[in-house]
Structure 1
Amino acid sequence: MSYSNKYTWAALPRTQRGTPLVLGGDPKGRTFLYTNGNSVIIRDIENPAIADIYTEHSCQVNVAKYSPSGFYIASGDASGKVRIWDTVNKEHILKNEFQPIGGPIKDIAWSADNQRMVVVGEGRERFGHVFMSETGTSVGEISGQSKPINSVDFRPTRPFRIVTASEDNTIAVFEGPPFKFRCTKQEHTRFAQAVRYNPDGSLFASAGFDGKIYLYDGATSELRGEIGSPAHKGGVYGISWSPDGTQLLSCSGDKTCAIWDVETMQRTTLFNMGTAVENQQVSCLWQGKHLLSVSLSGVINYLDVNNPDTPWQVLMGHNKPITCLALHPDRHTVYTASHDGCVTSWNVSTGEGRHILGQGHGNQVNGMRATKDGSLLTCGIDDSLRRGKPQAEGEVPTYTAESVPLGSQPRGMDYILDDDTTIIATVKELLVIIGDSKQSSLPLKFEPTCVAIDPKSRHVAVGGADNKVHLFTLDVRTLTSGVELEHLGAVTDVRFSPDSQYLVACDANRKLILYSTEDYKLAHNKEWGFHTARVNCVAWSPDSKRIASGSLDTSIIIWSVDAPAKHTIIKNAHPQSQITGLAWLDDESVVSVGQDANTRVWTVPKA
């Protein structure tokens, strides 16, 4: 059986309050770049549902930039490593790896001839370094600033210059090659956060946390003047030039973005991005006709010059690890939730994500199920069950104000579509909730990890940290206990097959065990144990013929009920990230989520 990755619904940029983020742009104007965790994410600017993800860094990546030729990308990480890799091949072959500084890299710039590169950040012995991109040979030194450097740019025309912006509030100018310190500029009164040359190198602009933007001559570095007075009420996190160099885009912690006319140094457009803290703007990029900005929440806004108060497109999703996954009964919508309580609804056909609004959990979601009418039930570690309802048919649900208190932390939930019954396993008890009211509870002597209910037999399977699957029978609203099934490790997930014939359970001992629901004996004498680490989740195909399992070992395995000896392994399904949730969209498509905050759709044809 072959498989292929059909779509990747990419993670959003990982943001941090008070820290600027650097977006990279493709010189041809087709894609843009940002980072999340160990990943560099390349997204198509016209159709952002098309994404490619580079995951070869062993620690957090902070910045990635295209070479002027567009054939290579340089990415810098928190350990001070720079990897230069190819953009043409799907495998992104590594060209070079260097260690120019001994600490987190914050920005990278290439010379216009693709030959030289400068990186800056927080090194132990130096805050920046200039070197040849082919050999790593040093071509000068970045010195003269006393604190970490936040931003750097290379003049795109000769004579070459380098400018850097530092946390000692200064802008430094270097001449070369070989590059030597020339002078510092001391106009800023707070951290200098961004420096960028215009496309022809005749000017460069600097921006800082004092809310000011200054303009300098590109060749002599003389101050030309201040843009706005000041430009923003809050710190300026990023600036980006228009392709013709006549305008400048800025983004700020005052929750606005602005376009400035360079000649008059006056503002021509102001974009109000909202009033909440997460509407602070931490990055911007002017790429061809597209103006992008990134909010503190991680969402990417496509700014609309003709309608400054409403972006014409907003890219939503997750920038924290995804903890659970649910499927709408019609299988056209996938719901994902991350450990910060953010819940996203994905349209399967377009790949568009929308956040669920309203008063959510505000922290990790541990269980989620969708109902026939388009509502969404979630339980979180705020010890409550919440319901999101669509305002109109086909709309994304919005959380209602009510919640059902659970009394202790939920570990798993399941739902019967036909009679609005929810079963929740909390640390202390098993709860039966019909509608929004608690009907009964059964104290548990073991710590539950997951729960599943079969709507036909009304059997409830509860996985435990005591290495057992505990079975109960639900009679309207009362639970009675039944048999216990032994495993060799803590049970991590349980699922009844859609046709009610089987129960599958997976455990921390790397095994999947298939039971027949008639007598809860082994359905066949084969143990499924090809994972190399704890199995986190299992899911049944709609025809009850195949099972998908996802593991800590980053792989997904597709198992066949009819041919138990056969299986398909999707290795590195989420590279460097464990799989945390799985669901089948149809008999040949699986959706997976992981700690890398990405959602992937796989095509797994039947044999």
Structure 2
Amino acid sequence: MFFTGDFNGEIHAWRNGQPSSKRVAGKGHSCVVDMKVSADELVSVGLDDVLRRTKISDSMSYGGAAVKLPGAPTGLAVADDAAIVSSANGLAVVKGDNVVFHYEDPAGVKFNCVAVDSSGKTVAAGSEKGAVVVFDLNGDGSLVIRHTLSLHAAGVCSIAVSTDGAFIASADNKSVFLWDAVDGQIKVKTWQGFHNSLIKSVDFAKDGKRIISASADESVIVWSVDEPDKVQKLSWTHAGGASGAKFLNDSHFVSVGSDACVKVWKF
């Protein structure tokens, strides 16, 4: 099962192989910004500046407390019992129904996106100034800076951390960079110019060997971590721009776009 959200605040649940979806019932967000699956819950944030948790079931409906966030969210990452939300006001760590930690950049820089590995220990956030800030997430929810990575010529608009926490993929309006999350060194910086507009999302395959990116230029690209020169570009995937792409498993990924279409692809 996977989920899609829209500007009207609706969230729909889809099952692989089925052409129709089920809408999550009840009053939700005014506009869905981001959402992630965590165990048996769907965690979502919206322009109503709240975080919601919804139990995943065949007949889903909004329920539980809405956690007020310290700013308008721009991205969301979840791992274990923590949710990390990026915003113009920094990064908020939510546990249960409370914001337990709030990191604000000393210079007041806005964070556009955030990601975390499956262990919940490595957090990466992309800033409007082009920096990738890597944090250690502690058990109490506090964040401690590990690295600040600077190479992007424009603001970082999407980011992902590999499942094992070894690598970080970051993207701006034309480039995708691959970083070593442990030592902070750049691994691949040649993925430039393949997209020619804002890169809306990046995602790692579960095994960490492939990355997928979706761009406002209407294309989706699959990148090889082991063979950086091996680039598979799918052009004109969504009229008006591709807004997201995510691996479903080792052989399929899903993409969404401004054409209001959901497409499932097979390798």
TM-score, normalising length: structure 2: 0.93
Give me the whole-angstrom Cα distance separating, in 2, the residues matched to 1:397 and 1:529: 42
Answering whether residue 42 of structure 2 is matched by residue 341 of structure 1, we say no
Aligned to 1:459: 122
Shift of residue 591 of structure 1?
Answer: 0.2
Select 1:369's aligned residue among 36, 41, 62: 36
2:136 is the alignment partner of 1:437: no
Match of 2:247 in 1: 584
- Please point out which of 203, 214, 217 is paired with 1:553: 217
SS in 1 for 2:22: strand
Q: Does 1:536 align with 2:203?
A: no
2:179 aligns with 515
1:566 to 220, 230, 253: 230
Q: Deviations over 1:438-488 (max 9, x none)?
A: 211122321110001124371211111111111221111111223211211
- What is the alpha-carbon distance in structure 2 between the residues aligned to residue 449 and residue 555 of structure 1? 21
Which letter does structure 1 place at the counterpart of 2:32? V
Q: 1:507 corresponds to which letter in structure 2?
A: D
Residue 165 of structure 2 is aligned to residue 497 of structure 1: no
The amino acid that maps onto 2:130 is: N
Using the alignment, how far apart are the partners of 2:164 and 2:64 within structure 1? 36
Matched length: 263
Is contact 2:54-2:64 (8 Å) kept?
Answer: no
Q: Go from structure 1 to structure 2 and tell me whether the alpha carbon gap of 1:594 and 1:525 turns closer, same or farther (over 3 Å shift).
A: closer
Residue 507 of structure 1 deviates from its aligned partner by 0.5
CA gap of 1:573–1:538, structure 2 versus 1, over 3 A, is same
8 Å contact kept, 2:178–2:189: no
- Partners of 1:533 and 1:433 lie apart in 2 by 33
Distance of 1:482 and 1:441 partners within structure 2: 17
Q: Deviations 1:110-160 (Å, cap 9, x if unpaired)? A: xxxxxxxxxxxxxxxxxxxxxxxxxxxxxxxxxxxxxxxxxxxxxxxxxxx
Q: Distance in 2 between matches of 1:537 and 1:457?
A: 20
CA distance in 1, matches of 2:67, 2:192: 39
CA distance in 2, matches of 1:336, 1:377: 12
Distance 1:396 1:468, change over 3 A: farther
CA contact (8 A) 2:177 2:189 kept: no
Deviation at 1:559, TM superposition (A): 0.8
Q: Name the counterpart of 2:74.
A: 411
Structure 2, unpaired ranges of 5+: none
Instruction: Please state how far the C-alpha of 1:379 moved relative to its aligned partner.
Output: 0.6
**In the TM superposition, what is the alpha-carbon distance from 1:529 to its structure 2 partner?**
3.2
1:379 aligns with 2:40: no
Letter matched to residue 368 of structure 1: M
* Structure 1 unaligned residues grouped into runs of 5+: 1-332
Q: Distance in 2 between matches of 1:401 and 1:433?
A: 15
Q: Per the alignment, do residues 505 and 396 of structure 1 end up closer, same or farther by CA in structure 2, a change over 3 Å counting?
A: farther
The answer to whether residue 82 in structure 2 is matched with residue 424 in structure 1 is no
Letter in 1 for 2:111: P
Confirm or deny: 8 A CA contact 1:376 1:397 kept in the other structure. no
Return the offset for 1:527. 3.4
What is the letter of the counterpart of residue 351 of structure 1?
A: P
CA contact (8 A) 1:512 1:529 kept: no
Tell me the SS of whatever aligns to 1:357: coil
Following the alignment from structure 2 to structure 1, what is the Cα–Cα distance between the partners of residues 36 and 59?
A: 14
CA distance in 1, matches of 2:222, 2:64: 40
Whether the 8 Å CA contact 2:76–2:114 is kept in 1: the answer is yes
Q: Deviations over 1:190-231 (max 9, x none)?
A: xxxxxxxxxxxxxxxxxxxxxxxxxxxxxxxxxxxxxxxxxx
Question: d(CA) in 2 for partners of 1:543 and 1:428?
Answer: 33
Mapped to 2, the partners of 1:550 and 1:358 lie a distance apart of: 30
Change (3 A) 1:507 1:525: closer
- Report the Cα offset of residue 395 of structure 1: 1.6
Q: Which amino acid aligns with 2:103?
A: L
Instruction: Indicate the SS of the match to 1:451.
Output: strand
Please state how far the C-alpha of 1:365 moved relative to its aligned partner.
Answer: 1.0
Indicate the residue corresponding to 1:153 in structure 2: none
Q: Give the superposition deviation at 1:371.
A: 2.0
What's the Cα RMSD here?
A: 1.5
Q: Once the 2 structures are TM-superposed, how far is the Cα of residue 525 of structure 1 from its aligned partner?
A: 5.5
Percent identity of equivalent pairs: 30
Structure 2 match to 1:450: 113
Give secondary structure in 2 for the equivalent of 1:565: coil
1:244-283 correspondence to structure 2 within 5 Å:
none
Q: 1:525 to 1:428 in 2, by over 3 A?
A: closer
- CA 1:451–1:531 in 2, change beyond 3 Å: closer, same or farther? same
